[in-house]
Amino acid sequence: MTDIDTLDWPRIEADLDAYGAAATGPLLSPEQCAALVALYDEPEHFRSRVVMARHGFGRGEYQYFAHPLPPLVAGMRTGFWPRLVGIAHRWTGRDYPATHAEYLERCHAAGQQKPTPLLLRYGAGDYNCLHQDLYGAEVFPLQVAILLSRPDAEFGGGAFVLTEQRPRMQSRAEVVPLRQGEAVVFAVAERPVQGTRGTYRVKLRHGVSRVTWGARHTLGVIFHNAA
Ligand SMILES: O=C(O)CCC(=O)C(=O)O
Ligand SMILES: [Fe+2]
């Protein structure tokens, strides 16, 4: 695994400000990716399973991790946190505590106790409709998704897609190509844009285009908990 602190943070931060999303470069090793994928078939790690077609969310399924989170998953939350709080503060004007553990206390006070990190599994024909991962009033504005499968070797299609809705304008789409073990950091729901007459906010949604063959797995890391 690459140390989160050694990722190219000036470039990631610049991409986040410009596009609302940034690929990190290599993060997890193929062995770590395989170990996370293997967890999917061990139900004791999870608090709930969602079959996307049943809710109109798309096609495919995912499971939310239960407490205690596997160390690698917990490490993604605590490791990314100090690198994201400055950006989140600039975007929202809110102050965030130095550690993710302290932020969880804020989530708990807001009635959001359930862990939100999740493992997603897509097969041929599956896709994830454009959405925002909001689970209550407490929202941390950035999240991370890590591709665990090898594109073009284990699956085809299945692009990570973001759309951005500017006020009174048509939507813009952004595709973030990822390698196995690479993460994308992206805006949960909105981001500020510097306009000529001050700052305005654009709405973002993310999803995954249709997987044309094979199996695609991702680890989703959301920093706020769920009600
Ligand atoms: O599978 C993906 O790439 C995206 C999953 C997702 O929606 C998320 O992590 O919030
Ligand atoms: Fe999502």
- Give the pLDDT confidence of 72-97 residue by residue, as tens digits: 999 999 999 999 999 999 999 999 99
From residue 193, give the alpha-carbon distance in Å to each of 19, 91, 144, 170, 190: 10, 9, 21, 16, 10
Distance between Cα 131 and ligand 2 center (Å): 6
Domain coordinates in residue numbering, the chain? 4-221
Q: Report strand pairing: 155-157 vs 211-214.
A: antiparallel
Distance between Cα 27 and ligand 2 center (Å): 19
Cis ω for the linkage preceding 68 (within 30 of 0): yes
As for the ipTM of the complex, it is: 0.99
Per-residue pLDDT reduced to its tens digit, 131-158: 999 999 999 999 999 999 999 999 999 9
Per-residue pLDDT reduced to its tens digit, 163-205: 999 989 999 999 999 999 999 999 999 999 999 999 999 999 9
Are 130 and 205 in contact by the 8 Å Cβ rule? The answer is yes
Per-residue pLDDT reduced to its tens digit, 1-44: 899 999 999 999 999 999 999 999 999 999 999 999 999 999 99
Closest residue by CA, ligand 1 atom 5: 220
Closest residue by CA, ligand 1 atom 3: 160
What per-residue confidence (pLDDT) applies to 150?
A: 98
Widest CA span of the chain, in angstroms? 53
Neighbours of 7 (CB within 10 A): 19
What per-residue confidence (pLDDT) applies to 203?
A: 98
From residue 135, give the alpha-carbon distance in Å to each of 61, 214, 223: 18, 31, 11
- Of the listed ligands, the closest to the CA of 221 is 1
Distance between Cα 145 and ligand 2 center (Å): 8
What is the best residue among 80, 120, 133, 163 to mutate for testing ligand 1's pocket, by most ligand atoms within 8 Å of CB? 120
DSSP SS3 for 181: coil
Ligand 1 atom with the shortest distance to the CA of 178: 3
Distance between Cα 197 and ligand 1 center (Å): 34
- Ligand 1 residue neighbourhood (C-beta within 6 Å): 120, 128, 133, 145, 160, 206, 208, 218, 220
d(CA 203, CA 137): 17
- Burial of 58-85, coded b for 16+ CB within 10 Å and e otherwise, reads bbbbbbbbeeebbebbbebbebbbebbb
Distance between Cα 143 and ligand 2 center (Å): 9
Yes or no: is domain 4-221 CATH 2.60.120.620? yes
